[in-house]
Chains A and B, each alone.
Chain A
């Protein structure tokens, strides 16, 4: 069975602090893909990253970085020097052949950045 766990329901930090959103996944497939999406109050999903299971290199994009560790089945997302505009709900998701590449979603983490 495929499963994605985002244990942090809500995180609140003060602007300019670094914050890490956790994502733990379960799958028996050897080939799979992991995603992060941002959902601001408007509701529209914003794609942030896709990572395949064969690429464990960490990725950095501006203030965003992702740490993929197959040994712990985790794909954590860090925002450095957070800004108020980062406030949103963030979803981690998994896609694999075992689920016909349907997206399996985590429960989401609501991130609140206080000025």
Chain B
């Protein structure tokens, strides 16, 4: 149980295009999902906290117009990288908190590797 999927697992796009990444909780409902960014050889950096039915809370320094987050249902959150540029290339990881579970517990997706040419 507690499986989180991400799609796509890998994406290569041209500079200026927008890319949407989906994060789904497959066997539980997630009122809260988190989006992380990981640069090569670095730790995870929290970008934003996504709550179902409300606006996401972005961490300091993260451009909300650049990284659009939508959490329209209890099992799906999406991250859209708008007008992507090479500096947006990174590994993006989502996690989900089970609605009926422990607040300190997050289940992680497998990650999406974005390469912007």
Contact = CB atoms under 8 A, between A and B. Distances in A.
Interface size class of A (residues with CB under 8 A): 10 to 19
A9 to B, nearest CB: 9
Interface in A86-115: 91, 95, 101-103, 105-108, 110
B43 A44 contact: no
A44 B104 contact: no
Interface string B32-68: 0010001001111010010000000000000000000
Given A47-B108, A91-B44, A103-B106, 8 more contacts: A43-B111, A43-B113, A91-B43, A101-B103, A101-B104, A102-B46, A105-B44, A108-B43
18 contacts: A37-B108, A42-B110, A43-B38, A43-B91, A43-B113, A50-B104, A50-B105, A91-B43, A91-B44, A95-B104, A101-B103, A102-B34, A102-B49, A103-B44, A105-B43, A105-B44, A108-B43, A110-B41
Interface of B: 34, 38, 41-44, 46, 49, 91, 93, 103-106, 108, 110-111, 113
